[in-house]
Structure 1
């Protein structure tokens, strides 16, 4: 029995595995040393994520080079090589982009600008990844002879198919262009506080087709990005994150307004969310039974102003109940005084 046909594949696989593992170990050592020498950038540490696709590409290339004939196994190795190369390219692009963004975010002082760059980088990264995947899938399909034969006839009807596909994918393409418009038009960014459909929350994720808003009660609202290019919405982070909030009370006409102003200032000084810009109180309306008193307070962002408003409302009501209960609204049940006689 001739063992040569069985022995050669085993030797080839073993040699390929040994060379691949050795090359992967050398690459990892080199990247770790480079990362230790260049602590100012995370690039070399991020490139260590490329080790798995690098090993896959190297192993497939070595096995492909050692084969004598092109058969089913050779075709499978070609497909693996194309997929591995695409995976490696995506990992390299991601590492470079993340490294550049990390260095920029560490040096930048404008938080709004950092969020804008983060949004743009995220969408560019997704576009690049999608492009690499599409190209790799096309290259893999072209390795099949049947697909190359069909390709000639497909080009003849590409115009008609393009029109049909464009009509069918009108919504998806609209969202795609809307995502690019959001990224480079700087209308909404990751981390912005927005109000959509009477729900306020923080923009948590932006993709090429949809956007996710995390509400204050931890719910996620997912909507197409075209919503933000076709409908009005509130962006509380636009032009700065600082916010102004209002607190209303409906009290009796005898409410001590001057004393409430003094107490408001004392309360604000004990609340860490108050940024010290504005803290005022005024009578804004009156009815036959009550007066409406409004306090205007300011905070650094939307979350802080919400907490500040709740704290001011609670503490001032407690103060009124304790020291001036007559100022609380009440319903008169006594008989009305008759008009004076002429």
Structure 2
């Protein structure tokens, strides 16, 4: 290679290095283009979605890995001074480790994308799918954390100082482990709670929950915290140990179906059978009702009014909320139009005294 550059009149080492760097980058671009083009040709049209996922995840990462690998093997032959050669080799090794770490992380993300394609969470009854997706996401986070830590260790081991005192570090690892363990008890507890949640699954991605008197959906399950998306688009961030130590409501633990209730307060003169017929008519005219439950009952009576409870089922909690609002509104309109005198009222009966009659 050196003789070839000399034949071109490139006797300066830095010019040769610069030119070969450009050649390495071009080689990386060509290899990447040929690799994905071959995958597109070899795969049928129906299977190309996975190739597209691979291309999307690895855009740019192979760029750095291949040129640095070529450069690292060729740098000793550029006849540079010894110190500069050592520094260039150190830089190229660092970039190779960094690019390999990036490739490994993106490969994990690609595997997650492939698995996500096999589980459809868009359908109504998606409990099993959400269970698997929750486990995949948590395992992905742990694997990426380990990959990054290994990459960081390999990067540090390039330096003589780190290698020189490596034995000392290992000797004091027991003491350091105890100190770190005491100082990071809460963090370690969060990690263990995360593992417990990932596999016992009291919550899953997409579950409807009631926590801290707030209703929302589980949006993220991270290594140490959970993000709950509240119904009004706020985000409630809780430590992951909250879901192993505190009481909360999970409305979609085994099924997304839920029963909603509406309470009406009317006078004793309202005809219950007419209300029941109207209630059945309202439910029959909307797609929000899943046709599983339908009940109208008088649940309480006071000196002023009676309490009527209407129960109805829906496929999930957001639909149940909309259905409850619809039924409440239409039932009130029905009473106002048909039986306005049956709305709650306070009775006051006045009798003339015997003195006034006299």
For this structure pair, what is the TM-score category when the shorter chain's length is used for normalisation? over 0.9
Q: Which moved more, 1:81-90 or 1:63-72?
A: 63-72
**Mean alpha-carbon deviation: is it higher for 323-332 or for 138-147?**
323-332
Pick one of 210, 230, 239 that aligns with 1:224: 239
2:148 maps to 1:148: no
Using the alignment, how far apart are the partners of 2:333 and 2:122 within structure 1? 46
Tell me, which stretches of 5 or more residues in structure 1 are unaligned? Answer: none
Q: State the partner residue of 2:60.
A: 52
TM-score by length of 2: 0.89
Whole-Å Cα distance in 2 between the matches of residues 271 and 107 of structure 1? 22
What secondary structure sits across from 2:46 in the alignment?
coil
**Structure 1 residues 296 and 131: alpha-carbon distance in aligned structure 2, compared to 1, 3 A threshold:** same
Aligned positions, number: 338
The match for 1:62 is: 70
1:87 paired with 2:102, answer yes
Is 1:182 matched with 2:197?
Answer: yes
Specify the alignment match of 2:290 in structure 1.
Answer: 275
**1:23 paired residue number:** 31
Aligned mates of 1:145, 1:110 — CA distance in 2? 57
- Structure 1 residues 197 and 336: CA distance shift in structure 2, 3 A: farther
Structure 1 stretch 188-197 or stretch 148-157: which is displaced more? 148-157
> Do the aligned partners of 2:121 and 2:130 also contact (CA within 8 Å) in 1?
no
Once structures 1 and 2 are overlaid, which stretch shifts more, 326-335 or 83-92? 326-335
4+ runs of 1 displaced by more than 4 Å? 106-110, 336-339
Matched, 1:195 2:199: no
Q: Give me the CA root mean square deviation.
A: 2.2
Provide the residue aligned with 1:37 in structure 2. 44
The Cα of 1:194 is off from its aligned counterpart by 0.7
Report whether the alignment pairs 1:292 with 2:307: yes
Residue pair 1:283, 1:292 contacting (<8 A) in 2 also: yes
Are 1:4 and 2:12 counterparts?
yes
Cα distance change of structure 1 residues 337 and 143 upon mapping to structure 2, 3 Å threshold: farther
Q: Does 1:127 align with 2:142?
A: yes
Range that drifts further, 137-146 or 86-95: 86-95
TM-score between both structures, scaled by the size of structure 1: 0.93
> In the alignment, which residue of structure 2 is the partner of 1:165?
180
